[in-house]
Amino acid sequence: MIDFHCHSVFSDGELIPAEIWRRVKILGYSAIAITDHADHSNFEFIIKNLLKIKKSFQNLTPRLIAGIELTHVPPDLIPELIKEARKCGAEIVVVHGETIVEPVAEGTNLSAILGGADILAHPGLIKEEEVKLAVEKGVFLEISGRRGHCLANGHVAFLAKKYGANLVINSDAHSPSDLLTRELAFKIGLGAGLKSEEVEKIWEIAKKRFL
């Protein structure tokens, strides 16, 4: 089991990174990315501190990945902030996409894709042209396990299958109860309209790309 999108106390999560790591270890994870909400004010703080614990845990399983989720950043500023996050040491850059349950600025999905984010989280009613571009740029689209954000999973999965975009199933966990078992993550994939073999392939591709 892998998850490339969750939150700690460095943003609006409930747990410190070590407890997230411990809890997913018990769930049998092979890797977990902590990707706290960030903008220009705090991305350096988050990445710097995640890299500290990553260094301490580097020989342990599950693998701890230091990531970031750029959140509600004005679209025109997203590409440059993606670059800055990578320079700071972020191993995975997630962008908070145009979920239908938050007032995310129009154009965020496109800017995230053009800027080369690794994962576009909960992209809502993403446009076909944007999905095609995600394929070209190698950006993964998220199937979300989080309440509200998951409402557009079927739309995302349908277009991803139509155009060959890579998908990833993430929890977007903020609390212990949000963390997914492999069984539940599998059902979320099926609920989005994917076949069993397609869910398995999602995990295989994601492991090759991010691990």
pLDDT band at 141 (very low <50, low <70, confident <90, very high): very high
Could you give the domains of the chain? 2-210 (3.20.20.140)
pLDDT band at 128 (very low <50, low <70, confident <90, very high): very high
Model pLDDT, residue 197 = 98
- 8 A C-beta contact, residue 131 and residue 114: no
pLDDT band at 181 (very low <50, low <70, confident <90, very high): very high
- Find the mean pLDDT for residues 62-74: 98
Model pLDDT, residue 54 = 97
- 8 A C-beta contact, residue 141 and residue 126: yes
Model pLDDT, residue 189 = 98
Q: Which one-letter DSSP state was computed for residue 6?
A: B
- For residues 17 and 30, give the distance between their C-alpha atoms in angstroms, rounded to a whole number: 15
- For residues 37 and 23, give the distance between their C-alpha atoms in angstroms, rounded to a whole number: 21
Model pLDDT, residue 81 = 98
- Find the mean pLDDT for residues 1-16: 98
What is the pTM assigned to this prediction?
0.98
